[in-house]
Chains A and B, each alone.
Chain A
Amino acid sequence: MKLNQLVGATAIALAFPLAVHAQGALRIAMTAADIPKTTGQPDQGFEGNRFTGIPLFDALTHWDLSSADKPSVLIPGLATSWKVDDKDKTKWTFVLRKGVKFHDGSDLKADAIVWNVEKVLRKDARHFAPDQIGVTVSRMPNLVSARRIDDYTVELTTKEPDSFLPINLTNLFIASPAHWQKKWDALGSVSDPAERAKQAWAAFAADASGSGPFKMARFTPRERVEYVKNEAYWDPKRKPRLDRVVLLPMPEASARTAALLSGQVDWIENPAPDAVPQIRQKGFSITANAQPHVWPWQFSFVEGSPWLDRRVRHAANLCVNRDELKQALGGLMEVPKGTVPPGHPWWGNPKFEIKYDLKAAQKLMSDAGFGPNKRLKVKTITSASGSGQMQPVPMNEFLQQALRACYFDVELEVIEWNALFTNWREGAKDPKARGAHATNVTFAAMDPFFAMVRFTSSKTVPPVSNNWGYFINPEFDDLIAKARGTFDDKGRDAALARLHARIVEEAPFLWVAHDVGPRAMSAKVKGVVQPKSWFIDLAPVTVQ
C-alpha cells in the first residue's frame, strides 16, 4: 500500500468508525424530535410505527408494503387467519403463526397476545402501562379484552360489533412478556408495584424485544437507536439484508438536509422542499409516493358558520388551483379527488368532482349571495408546524390568496400545534377554537374510522372524537352503521365506498393535498420500495 493510500484509508477510518460504517449500515434521520417509544407502542404518530414499530415488532395483521403501485392492503401477520363469531359478532378468533420467537428467544404464543392487550386494558395487571393507553386504545377503540383459547388461538372481544377490528390491530405491536419479566425481576429493590412496573417499562424501552425483522442493539435516549438484523425472522420474504440500521431524530429540516449533504446520514425523511433541487443536483435521489393522508380545512357547521351553505363549500373546493400549489411545493404533494383516491376500494364515484374551476366557483358564490362587493369573511386556525402538517403556513397563505378570487376574506390564526391538536377534540364551539370556521389538522386515511367515521358521525362530536365542526346527518349515521356491521370484506368496502362518495358530495372539508412522504437518500442505498402507505419496509434495503 502506498503511503498516500494509507493516509487516506486512515483518514476515512478516523472519520467513520467501523461500528457504524460497516458494510450494509443504513443511517436514517427522522423528523421526530425524539426517538419514538420502543415499548412496542410507538408514539410520534405514524413515523413511530414506521421506525420503532414495524422493524422491531410484529402485529396480528400487517400492511402489505411490498409494492409501489398497488394500494397497500391488509395481510396476515402473526395471525394466519381470523374470523368473527357467527352468533356473537363481538367475538373474534385469531389463529397464530407457529414457531415465531421473540428476539430474547422466548416463544410467541397466545399468552403473549393476551399480555399485550392487558397492558393497556387491565388496570390490575402487574405490567399495566398508563403511558401506552393513549396510543393503543384510541387506535382500537372497541377492543375490550383478550382470552387464550389454546397456545395458538386467541379470542378478542369488542364493545359492539365492529368490522374494522382487523385493520385496527395493525397498531397493536406484540412485545415480549418474558423479556419484560426479566426487567421486572431485576428491580427487586423497588417496593411500590406501580413504580416498579414503570421502571421495568423504561428498562424494556432501552433494551426492547419483539419478533420483527430487526433487533435492537443500542439505545441512546434522545439521540439514536441502533438495530441489527434478526437472522431468524419468520417471513423469508422480509429477511433483512442490512447488517445495521441507525435512526437519528432530527426535527429541523435544514439540519437533516445538511446531515445528508455532508454524508453524515444516508437517508432523510421529509427533506425541505426548497432544498430538493440542490439535493438532486448533488447526486442524491428523492423518493415519494401518495400516502393515505389528507391535508384539509375541516369546516364548522355550528350556527352562524359561513360553511353551512353547501354551495359555499363547493365553491371553495373549486377555487383552489392545486396544481399551482403542487408546483410551489416542488412537486411534493398529490392533488386530491377526495379523502381516498380514485381506484381505491372505498372510492365510490362521488358526483361532485374536486377540481379547479374558477368560473363555476364564482357562480356558486354569486348564487349564495356573495360577490366582489359582498365578500365573505371566514376564519381558519392552523399551526406553524406539526406531524403531517406539511408546510402549513405557506400552504394556508396560498389558500388565503387563492380564495380571494372567490370573494373570500380569509383570516388565518396560527396557534401552537398542541393547542390546535387539543382543540380538534374540543370542537368548533369551544372558546379555544377562537371563533374559527375551519380547522387545519391533517389526518391519516388508512383506517375507515380515522379516515371517515370520526368526522361524520353524530356519535363522534366533541368531546368524544374529532367531528370538530359538528357535521350531523342521520343519513351518514346509517351508512356508518351499515359499514361497521358488514363483516365480509367486499360488502364492508362497498358500504365504505358509499360513505366516501357521500362525504365528497357533502364536502365537510376543503380537500387541499395528499402528502407524498418524500425522502431523500444517497445513491448507495438500494432496494427501496416506497409503497402507497405511511410506512416503509426496511427489510429489502441494502447499502453498497
Chain B
Amino acid sequence: MSASPAGALVRSPGYWVAVLRRFARDPVAIGAAAVVLGLILMAVFAPWLAPQDPLQGMTLKRLRPPGTEGHLLGTDELGRDMLSRLIHGARISLFMGIVPVFTALLAGAAIGIVAGYAGGWTNSLLMRTMDVFFAFPSVLLAVALAGALGPGILNSIIALTLVFVPPIARVAESVTTGVRSRDYVEAAKASGAGALTIIRKHVLGNVLGPIFVYAMSLIAVCMILASGLSFLGLGVKPPMPDWGLMLNTLRTAIYTQPLLCALPGVMIFITSISFNIMTDGLRSAMDIKA
C-alpha cells in the first residue's frame, strides 16, 4: 500500500527538527493542527466553555432550531442545549478516537517489538495470532466485538483497540526486525548488552516515530468507527453527549429539524478531516530524502 513507515532509517534528533520545520511551512497542515488543538482545548475546558449543563434539559423546549434565544445552536430531542452538548461531545468523541488508538499503540508496539526482537517461534506465534485478527475487515471486527460485548464506553474501547492492535503490531514488528539485523545492534549484542537495554537504546527510538505517525492517521478512522458503533446502538450509551450517538438519537427529527440533526455529523467531519490533513502534512514533512 502507500509509503510504509517501516522503511524508516535510523533517525537523529535533528531529523525531527527538520520535519517540524517543514511541517510549519505547510499552511494547510498548520491550519488543521490548529483546529485539532482547538478541539482538544474545547474538550479539556468543556465545563467552563459550555453555557449550560449538557445533561439537563426542558422537554417542553425540545428540538428548537439553531438561533433560538438562549440556545445558540438550538436544543436536542430532550430540550438540552445543543451547543453545550456539542462542546462536551468533543470530550467523548475525541476520547473514543484517541484512547483505543493509544492503547492499541502500546499493546501493538509491545507485541511487535517482542515479536520482531525475539524472532523465531515467538514471532510466529504472536504474528500469526495478529494475522487472524487482521483477517477481519475492520468494521466487521468492531461490530462483531461490540455486538458480543454489548454497548458501553469500555466495551467499545476494547473492541476498537482489538481492531487496531494488529496493524500497529505489524508495523512495529517489521521496523524492529529491520533494526535488529543492523550491525550496531549485533555489536551491542556481542558486547553482552541485555535485551531490554538494546530495545530501549536502539529499537524504541527507531520504532516509535513511524508507528506514532501511523497511529495518528488511525485516530480519524477510529473516531468514525466509534461513531458508527454508537449509531448502530453498539457504542456509547445515553445520555452521554457523544456525536455519533447524538446523530442516532436526533435522526428521527431529521425531517423537521434537518440543520439541527446535521450538526453532530458536521463536528465528526471537521474533527476527522482535521486529523487527516494534519497527519498528511506530518507524513509529507517526514518524506525527506535523508
Which A residues have a C-beta under 8 Å from some C-beta of B?
253-254, 257, 261, 272-275, 277-279, 324-325, 327-328, 384-385, 393-394, 397-398, 401, 412-416, 419
Contact = CB atoms under 8 A, between A and B. Distances in A.
A232 B233 CA distance: 46
Given A384-B233, A385-B233, A393-B238, A253 B151 contact: no
A254 B150 CA distance: 24
B252 A274 contact: yes
Given A393-B238, A415-B150, A398 B78 contact: yes
A272 B250 CA distance: 11
B111 to A, nearest CB: 31
Nearest to B62: A328
Nearest to B149: A416
Contact of B151 (A277, A325, A327, A384): A384
Contacts of A384: 151, 233, 237-238
A274 B251 CA distance: 9
A254 B233 contact: no
B256 interface: yes
B249 interface: yes
A328 B256 CA distance: 14
A278 B255 contact: yes
A328 B56 contact: no
B256 A274 contact: yes
A419 to B, nearest CB: 7
B60 A272 contact: no
B253 to A, nearest CB: 4
B77 interface: yes
B150 A394 contact: no
B242 to A, nearest CB: 13
Contact of B253 (A274, A325, A327): A274
A319 B238 CA distance: 23
Contacts of A416: 150-151
B238 A397 contact: yes
Contact of A328 (B59, B151, B249, B251): B59
B252 A398 contact: no
A275 B150 contact: no
B249 A278 contact: no
Contacts of B255: 257, 261, 274-275, 278-279
Nearest to B55: A397
A453 B57 CA distance: 38
B254 interface: yes
B26 to A, nearest CB: 41
Contacts of B63: 274
B239 interface: yes
B269 to A, nearest CB: 19
A401 B77 CA distance: 14
A413 B63 CA distance: 24
B150 A401 contact: no
A324 B257 CA distance: 21
A277 B56 CA distance: 25
B265 to A, nearest CB: 14
Interface string B109-125: 00000000000000000
B237 A419 contact: no
B57 A328 contact: no
A394 B77 contact: yes
A397 B150 contact: no
Nearest to A276: B256
A121 B257 CA distance: 53
B207 to A, nearest CB: 39
Contacts of A397: 78, 238-239
A401 B56 CA distance: 8
16 contacts: A253-B252, A254-B251, A261-B255, A272-B252, A274-B77, A274-B252, A275-B254, A278-B255, A325-B59, A327-B59, A328-B60, A384-B238, A393-B249, A397-B239, A412-B238, A413-B237
Contacts of B77: 274, 394
Interface string B65-79: 000000000000110
Nearest to B77: A394
Given A274-B77, A398-B78, A412-B239, 19 more contacts: A272-B251, A274-B252, A274-B255, A275-B254, A277-B256, A278-B256, A279-B255, A324-B60, A328-B62, A384-B151, A384-B237, A385-B233, A393-B249, A397-B78, A397-B238, A397-B239, A401-B56, A412-B238, A415-B151
A278 B60 CA distance: 19
A517 to B, nearest CB: 17
A279 B256 CA distance: 10
5 tightest CB-CB pairs across the interface, nearest first? A272-B252, A274-B253, A278-B255, A328-B59, A414-B237
Contacts of B239: 393, 397, 412
B83 to A, nearest CB: 19
A113 B233 CA distance: 43
A387 to B, nearest CB: 14
Contacts of A414: 151, 237-238
A275 B256 contact: yes
A278 B253 CA distance: 10
A401 B61 CA distance: 14
Given A384-B238, A414-B151, A401 B57 contact: yes
Contacts of A393: 238-239, 249
B144 to A, nearest CB: 14
A325 to B, nearest CB: 7
A5 to B, nearest CB: 33
A413 B240 CA distance: 12
Nearest to B80: A397
Contacts of A412: 238-239
A324 B151 CA distance: 30
A261 B256 CA distance: 13
B237 A275 contact: no
Interface in B134-172: 150-151
A277 B54 CA distance: 27
Given A393-B238, A397-B238, A327 B60 contact: yes
